[in-house]
Protein backbone atom coordinates (compact mmCIF):
# COMPACT_ATOMS: atom_id res chain seq x y z
CA UNK A 1 0.00 0.00 0.00
CA UNK A 2 1.41 3.33 -1.03
CA UNK A 3 1.55 5.34 2.12
CA UNK A 4 2.37 8.81 0.86
CA UNK A 5 -0.10 10.82 -1.15
CA UNK A 6 1.83 12.67 -3.83
CA UNK A 7 1.85 16.46 -3.81
CA UNK A 8 -0.46 18.82 -5.60
CA UNK A 9 1.67 19.75 -8.54
CA UNK A 10 -0.09 18.72 -11.73
CA UNK A 11 -0.59 22.18 -13.05
CA UNK A 12 -2.53 21.71 -16.28
CA UNK A 13 -4.27 24.59 -18.01
CA UNK A 14 -4.76 26.44 -14.77
CA UNK A 15 -6.46 23.54 -13.07
CA UNK A 16 -4.77 22.07 -10.05
CA UNK A 17 -5.32 18.41 -9.52
CA UNK A 18 -3.74 15.42 -7.93
CA UNK A 19 -3.68 11.71 -8.35
CA UNK A 20 -5.02 9.87 -5.35
CA UNK A 21 -3.64 6.31 -5.33
CA UNK A 22 -6.26 5.17 -2.80
CA UNK A 23 -9.33 6.10 -4.78
CA UNK A 24 -7.61 5.95 -8.16
CA UNK A 25 -9.18 9.33 -8.89
CA UNK A 26 -7.56 12.41 -10.30
CA UNK A 27 -9.01 15.13 -8.11
CA UNK A 28 -9.45 18.65 -9.42
CA UNK A 29 -8.59 21.28 -6.89
CA UNK A 30 -10.37 24.47 -7.80
CA UNK A 31 -9.10 26.56 -4.95
CA UNK A 32 -5.89 28.48 -4.71
CA UNK A 33 -2.87 26.40 -5.50
CA UNK A 34 -1.14 25.16 -2.39
CA UNK A 35 2.41 23.95 -2.17
CA UNK A 36 3.12 20.27 -2.57
CA UNK A 37 1.92 18.23 0.36
CA UNK A 38 2.96 14.78 1.42
CA UNK A 39 0.52 13.34 3.90
CA UNK A 40 1.69 10.18 5.57
CA UNK A 41 -0.88 7.42 5.85
CA UNK A 42 -0.02 5.30 8.88
CA UNK A 43 -0.24 1.50 8.71
CA UNK A 44 -1.55 -0.74 11.51
CA UNK A 45 1.78 -0.97 13.33
CA UNK A 46 2.33 2.77 13.14
CA UNK A 47 -1.20 3.48 14.32
CA UNK A 48 -0.64 1.34 17.39
CA UNK A 49 2.54 3.29 18.14
CA UNK A 50 0.61 6.54 17.71
CA UNK A 51 -1.95 5.22 20.20
CA UNK A 52 0.79 4.43 22.69
CA UNK A 53 2.41 7.85 22.31
CA UNK A 54 -0.97 9.58 22.52
CA UNK A 55 -1.95 7.73 25.67
CA UNK A 56 1.34 8.63 27.31
CA UNK A 57 1.02 12.31 26.35
CA UNK A 58 -2.46 12.34 27.92
CA UNK A 59 -1.07 10.77 31.07
CA UNK A 60 1.80 13.25 31.33
CA UNK A 61 -0.69 16.11 30.86
CA UNK A 62 -2.95 14.70 33.55
CA UNK A 63 -0.16 14.14 36.07
CA UNK A 64 1.43 17.52 35.40
CA UNK A 65 -1.96 19.20 35.76
CA UNK A 66 -2.30 17.67 39.22
CA UNK A 67 0.65 19.87 40.25
CA UNK A 68 -1.00 23.14 39.18
CA UNK A 69 -1.63 25.43 42.15
CA UNK A 70 -1.07 28.99 43.28
CA UNK A 71 2.60 29.47 44.17
CA UNK A 72 3.86 26.82 41.77
CA UNK A 73 6.18 27.99 38.98
CA UNK A 74 5.87 26.85 35.40
CA UNK A 75 9.45 25.60 35.62
CA UNK A 76 8.40 23.20 38.38
CA UNK A 77 5.65 21.88 36.09
CA UNK A 78 8.20 21.53 33.30
CA UNK A 79 10.64 19.61 35.46
CA UNK A 80 7.96 17.26 36.71
CA UNK A 81 6.73 16.53 33.18
CA UNK A 82 10.28 16.03 31.91
CA UNK A 83 11.16 13.44 34.55
CA UNK A 84 7.82 11.67 34.34
CA UNK A 85 8.20 11.34 30.57
CA UNK A 86 11.71 9.90 30.89
CA UNK A 87 10.51 7.45 33.56
CA UNK A 88 8.12 6.02 30.94
CA UNK A 89 10.90 5.45 28.44
CA UNK A 90 9.90 8.44 26.30
CA UNK A 91 11.30 11.89 25.51
CA UNK A 92 9.84 15.39 25.61
CA UNK A 93 9.53 16.54 22.00
CA UNK A 94 9.74 20.32 22.60
CA UNK A 95 13.18 20.19 24.27
CA UNK A 96 15.67 21.50 21.68
CA UNK A 97 12.99 21.39 18.97
CA UNK A 98 14.14 24.22 16.68
CA UNK A 99 15.95 25.56 19.71
CA UNK A 100 13.03 25.49 22.16
CA UNK A 101 14.72 25.49 25.57
CA UNK A 102 12.28 23.46 27.72
CA UNK A 103 10.29 20.23 27.73
CA UNK A 104 6.71 21.55 27.74
CA UNK A 105 4.88 24.74 26.80
CA UNK A 106 3.10 26.74 29.50
CA UNK A 107 0.96 29.64 28.28
CA UNK A 108 -0.67 31.95 30.82
CA UNK A 109 -3.55 34.44 30.27
CA UNK A 110 -2.73 36.58 27.19
CA UNK A 111 -0.10 34.09 26.01
CA UNK A 112 -1.56 32.16 23.09
CA UNK A 113 0.97 29.30 22.94
CA UNK A 114 4.65 28.34 23.08
CA UNK A 115 5.14 29.92 26.52
CA UNK A 116 8.52 28.92 27.95
CA UNK A 117 8.46 27.54 31.49
CA UNK A 118 10.36 29.82 33.88
CA UNK A 119 11.09 29.84 37.59
CA UNK A 120 9.82 33.42 37.78
CA UNK A 121 6.44 32.58 36.29
CA UNK A 122 4.62 31.70 39.49
CA UNK A 123 0.92 30.86 39.22
CA UNK A 124 -1.50 33.09 41.12
CA UNK A 125 -5.26 33.24 41.65
CA UNK A 126 -7.08 34.42 38.54
CA UNK A 127 -4.58 32.86 36.11
CA UNK A 128 -5.64 30.61 33.28
CA UNK A 129 -2.94 28.29 31.97
CA UNK A 130 -2.49 26.02 28.97
CA UNK A 131 -0.10 23.12 29.39
CA UNK A 132 0.97 21.56 26.09
CA UNK A 133 2.65 18.16 26.20
CA UNK A 134 4.31 16.37 23.31
CA UNK A 135 6.13 13.09 23.89
CA UNK A 136 8.11 10.83 21.57
CA UNK A 137 7.59 7.16 22.35
CA UNK A 138 9.11 4.44 20.15
CA UNK A 139 9.71 7.01 17.44
CA UNK A 140 6.16 8.45 17.35
CA UNK A 141 4.70 11.70 18.68
CA UNK A 142 1.65 12.30 20.85
CA UNK A 143 0.60 15.96 21.25
CA UNK A 144 -2.13 17.25 23.58
CA UNK A 145 -2.94 20.33 25.62
CA UNK A 146 -5.65 21.70 27.85
CA UNK A 147 -6.45 24.59 30.16
CA UNK A 148 -6.04 24.76 33.93
CA UNK A 149 -7.23 27.56 36.19
CA UNK A 150 -6.22 29.05 39.51
CA UNK A 151 -9.48 29.99 41.19
CA UNK A 152 -11.11 32.35 41.45
CA UNK A 153 -11.17 33.30 37.77
CA UNK A 154 -13.41 35.84 35.97
CA UNK A 155 -16.62 34.57 34.42
CA UNK A 156 -15.39 35.67 30.98
CA UNK A 157 -12.35 33.43 31.33
CA UNK A 158 -14.48 30.45 32.33
CA UNK A 159 -16.70 30.94 29.31
CA UNK A 160 -13.71 31.30 27.00
CA UNK A 161 -12.29 28.02 28.25
CA UNK A 162 -15.59 26.15 27.95
CA UNK A 163 -16.23 27.46 24.46
CA UNK A 164 -12.69 26.70 23.30
CA UNK A 165 -12.90 23.09 24.49
CA UNK A 166 -16.32 22.70 22.92
CA UNK A 167 -15.02 24.12 19.62
CA UNK A 168 -12.22 21.56 19.55
CA UNK A 169 -14.77 18.74 19.82
CA UNK A 170 -17.03 20.38 17.23
CA UNK A 171 -14.03 20.34 14.89
CA UNK A 172 -13.01 16.78 15.74
CA UNK A 173 -16.54 15.51 15.15
CA UNK A 174 -16.31 16.45 11.48
CA UNK A 175 -13.46 13.98 10.92
CA UNK A 176 -14.37 11.19 8.53
CA UNK A 177 -12.87 9.50 5.46
CA UNK A 178 -13.44 11.60 2.32
CA UNK A 179 -14.14 14.67 4.43
CA UNK A 180 -12.06 17.77 3.86
CA UNK A 181 -9.43 19.00 6.26
CA UNK A 182 -11.18 22.36 5.84
CA UNK A 183 -14.39 20.93 7.35
CA UNK A 184 -12.72 21.11 10.76
CA UNK A 185 -12.01 24.84 10.67
CA UNK A 186 -15.38 25.61 9.11
CA UNK A 187 -17.19 23.89 11.99
CA UNK A 188 -15.02 25.55 14.62
CA UNK A 189 -15.52 28.95 12.99
CA UNK A 190 -19.29 28.48 12.81
CA UNK A 191 -19.35 27.70 16.50
CA UNK A 192 -17.01 30.44 17.74
CA UNK A 193 -17.47 33.45 15.49
CA UNK A 194 -21.12 34.15 16.42
CA UNK A 195 -19.93 34.19 20.02
CA UNK A 196 -17.54 37.02 19.21
CA UNK A 197 -14.20 35.27 19.64
CA UNK A 198 -11.03 35.75 17.63
CA UNK A 199 -9.74 32.49 16.16
CA UNK A 200 -5.97 32.54 15.78
CA UNK A 201 -4.93 32.12 12.15
CA UNK A 202 -1.14 32.26 12.32
CA UNK A 203 -0.91 28.86 14.03
CA UNK A 204 -2.73 25.72 13.00
CA UNK A 205 -3.13 22.05 13.80
CA UNK A 206 -0.76 19.75 11.97
CA UNK A 207 -0.10 16.26 10.78
CA UNK A 208 1.93 14.26 13.29
CA UNK A 209 3.73 10.94 13.39
CA UNK A 210 7.44 10.24 13.25
CA UNK A 211 7.70 14.02 12.89
CA UNK A 212 6.37 16.56 15.38
CA UNK A 213 4.86 18.61 12.57
CA UNK A 214 3.89 17.07 9.21
CA UNK A 215 1.42 17.87 6.48
CA UNK A 216 -1.40 18.64 6.43
CA UNK A 217 -1.83 21.89 8.28
CA UNK A 218 -5.22 22.12 9.96
CA UNK A 219 -6.64 25.66 10.10
CA UNK A 220 -9.18 26.36 12.82
CA UNK A 221 -11.04 29.01 10.83
CA UNK A 222 -13.15 28.90 7.69
CA UNK A 223 -11.19 29.43 4.50
CA UNK A 224 -12.43 29.01 0.98
CA UNK A 225 -9.45 27.08 -0.31
CA UNK A 226 -10.49 23.51 -1.00
CA UNK A 227 -8.03 21.48 0.99
CA UNK A 228 -7.01 17.87 0.94
CA UNK A 229 -9.34 15.06 1.86
CA UNK A 230 -9.14 13.00 5.01
CA UNK A 231 -8.13 9.37 4.51
CA UNK A 232 -8.09 6.47 6.97
CA UNK A 233 -4.66 6.27 8.58
CA UNK A 234 -4.02 10.02 8.62
CA UNK A 235 -3.08 11.43 12.01
CA UNK A 236 -3.24 15.13 12.80
CA UNK A 237 -3.97 17.49 15.65
CA UNK A 238 -6.94 19.75 16.24
CA UNK A 239 -5.85 22.57 18.54
CA UNK A 240 -7.87 25.78 18.31
CA UNK A 241 -6.33 28.88 19.88
CA UNK A 242 -9.13 31.27 20.79
CA UNK A 243 -8.97 34.87 21.98
CA UNK A 244 -11.59 36.99 23.72
CA UNK A 245 -10.40 39.87 21.53
CA UNK A 246 -8.77 40.08 18.12
CA UNK A 247 -7.43 36.99 16.36
CA UNK A 248 -4.13 38.81 15.80
CA UNK A 249 -1.00 37.67 17.61
CA UNK A 250 2.69 38.47 17.74
CA UNK A 251 5.79 36.54 18.74
CA UNK A 252 8.16 37.77 21.43
CA UNK A 253 11.28 39.40 19.97
CA UNK A 254 13.07 38.60 23.19
CA UNK A 255 12.78 34.81 23.30
CA UNK A 256 11.61 34.15 19.74
CA UNK A 257 8.89 31.77 20.95
CA UNK A 258 6.20 33.19 23.20
CA UNK A 259 3.09 34.08 21.19
CA UNK A 260 0.91 36.85 22.67
CA UNK A 261 -2.50 38.22 21.74
CA UNK A 262 -1.96 41.54 19.98
CA UNK A 263 -4.52 43.37 22.12
CA UNK A 264 -3.63 41.76 25.44
CA UNK A 265 -6.90 39.81 25.57
CA UNK A 266 -7.16 36.35 27.11
CA UNK A 267 -6.43 33.25 25.05
CA UNK A 268 -7.31 29.59 25.53
CA UNK A 269 -6.39 26.38 23.73
CA UNK A 270 -7.20 22.68 23.79
CA UNK A 271 -5.50 20.03 21.66
CA UNK A 272 -5.94 16.39 20.76
CA UNK A 273 -4.07 14.15 18.34
CA UNK A 274 -6.63 12.38 16.12
CA UNK A 275 -6.68 9.42 13.72
CA UNK A 276 -8.96 9.15 10.69
CA UNK A 277 -10.54 5.68 10.86
CA UNK A 278 -12.52 3.71 8.26
CA UNK A 279 -15.77 5.16 9.58
CA UNK A 280 -14.88 8.33 11.46
CA UNK A 281 -12.16 9.22 13.91
CA UNK A 282 -10.36 8.12 17.03
CA UNK A 283 -8.89 10.52 19.57
CA UNK A 284 -5.44 9.19 20.39
CA UNK A 285 -4.48 11.46 23.28
CA UNK A 286 -6.72 9.87 25.88
CA UNK A 287 -5.93 7.81 28.95
CA UNK A 288 -7.54 4.42 29.31
N1 LIG B 1 3.02 21.37 21.03
C2 LIG B 1 2.96 22.48 20.11
C3 LIG B 1 1.95 22.10 19.07
O4 LIG B 1 0.86 21.80 19.43
C5 LIG B 1 4.27 22.78 19.48
C6 LIG B 1 5.27 23.29 20.41
S7 LIG B 1 6.71 23.58 19.56
C8 LIG B 1 7.74 24.01 20.81
O9 LIG B 1 2.18 22.02 17.90
F10 LIG B 1 8.92 24.03 20.30
F11 LIG B 1 7.37 25.16 21.29
F12 LIG B 1 7.67 23.11 21.75
CO1 LIG C 1 0.24 20.38 18.08
CO1 LIG D 1 0.83 20.77 21.28
> DSSP letters of 11-41?
EETTEEEEEETTTTEEEEE-S-------EEP
Q: Output the CA–CA distances (angstroms, integers) from residue 229 to 20, 27, 176, 194, 218, in the order listed.
A: 10, 10, 9, 27, 12
78-91 burial, b at 16+ Cβ within 10 Å, e below that, comes to bbbbbebbeeeebb
Cα 11 to ligand 3 centroid, rounded to whole Å: 34
Give yes or no: residues 169 and 126 share one domain.
yes
Prior bond to 152 cis, omega within 30?
yes
Nearest residue to 115 (alpha-carbon basis) of 96, 102, 128, 134? 102
Task: State the CATH number of the domain containing residue 254.
Answer: 3.90.230.10
Give yes or no: residues 21 and 51 share one domain.
no
Q: Is residue 173 situated within a structural domain? A: yes
Instruction: Answer whether 142 contacts ligand 1 (Cβ < 6 A).
Output: no
Total structural domains in the chain?
2
Instruction: Answer whether 214 contacts ligand 1 (Cβ < 6 A).
Output: no
Q: Determine which residue's CA is closest to atom 4 belonging to ligand 1.
A: 143
Give yes or no: residues 118 and 257 share one domain.
yes
Report the mean per-residue pLDDT for the chain.
90
Give yes or no: residues 2 and 50 share one domain.
no
Cα 239 to ligand 2 centroid, rounded to whole Å: 6
Q: Is residue 215 situated within a structural domain? A: yes
Give yes or no: residues 16 and 129 share one domain.
no
Residue 5 is part of which domain span?
1-37
Q: Output the CA–CA distances (angstroms, integers) from residue 195 to 27, 192, 199, 271, in the order listed.
A: 36, 5, 11, 20
CA angle, residues 69, 112, 133, in degrees to nearest 5: 60
Give yes or no: residues 112 and 246 share one domain.
yes
Q: Is residue 52 situated within a structural domain? A: yes
Give yes or no: residues 134 and 19 share one domain.
no
How confident is the model at residue 223, as a pLDDT?
86
Q: Is residue 288 situated within a structural domain? A: no
Q: Is residue 172 situated within a structural domain? A: yes
Tens-place pLDDT, residues 147-183: 999 999 999 999 999 999 999 999 999 999 999 999 9
Tens-place pLDDT, residues 26-78: 444 433 334 457 899 999 999 999 999 999 999 999 999 999 999 999 999 99
pLDDT at 219 over 50: yes
Nearest residue to 141 (alpha-carbon basis) of 40, 36, 241, 7? 40
**Cβ–Cβ < 8 Å for 10, 19:** yes
Instruction: Answer whether 239 contacts ligand 1 (Cβ < 6 A).
Output: yes
Give yes or no: residues 201 and 277 share one domain.
yes
When pLDDT is averaged across residues 123-131 and rounded to a whole number, the result is: 98
> In DSSP terms, which residues pair with 26 in a beta bridge?
19
Cα 271 to ligand 2 centroid, rounded to whole Å: 7
111-125, 182-196, 220-234, 260-274: lowest mean pLDDT where?
Answer: 220-234
Give yes or no: residues 1 and 70 share one domain.
no
Using CA atoms, how far apart are residues 14 and 146, in angstroms rounded to an integer? 43
Q: How confident is the model at residue 9 (pLDDT cuts 50, 70, 90)?
A: very low
Give yes or no: residues 167 and 240 share one domain.
yes
How confident is the model at residue 26, as a pLDDT?
42
**Cβ–Cβ < 8 Å for 182, 223:** yes
Give yes or no: residues 222 and 93 share one domain.
yes
How confident is the model at residue 227, as a pLDDT?
73
Instruction: Answer whether 271 contacts ligand 1 (Cβ < 6 A).
Output: yes
Give yes or no: residues 15 and 128 share one domain.
no
Amino acid sequence: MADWLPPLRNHVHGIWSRWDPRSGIQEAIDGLAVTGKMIHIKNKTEIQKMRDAGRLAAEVLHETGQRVAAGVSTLELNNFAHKFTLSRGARSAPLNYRGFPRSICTSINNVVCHGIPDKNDVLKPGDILNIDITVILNGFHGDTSRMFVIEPIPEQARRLIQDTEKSMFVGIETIQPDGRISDIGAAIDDFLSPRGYGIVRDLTGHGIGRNFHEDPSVPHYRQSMITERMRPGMTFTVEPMVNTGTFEVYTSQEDGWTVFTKDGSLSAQFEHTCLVTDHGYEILTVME
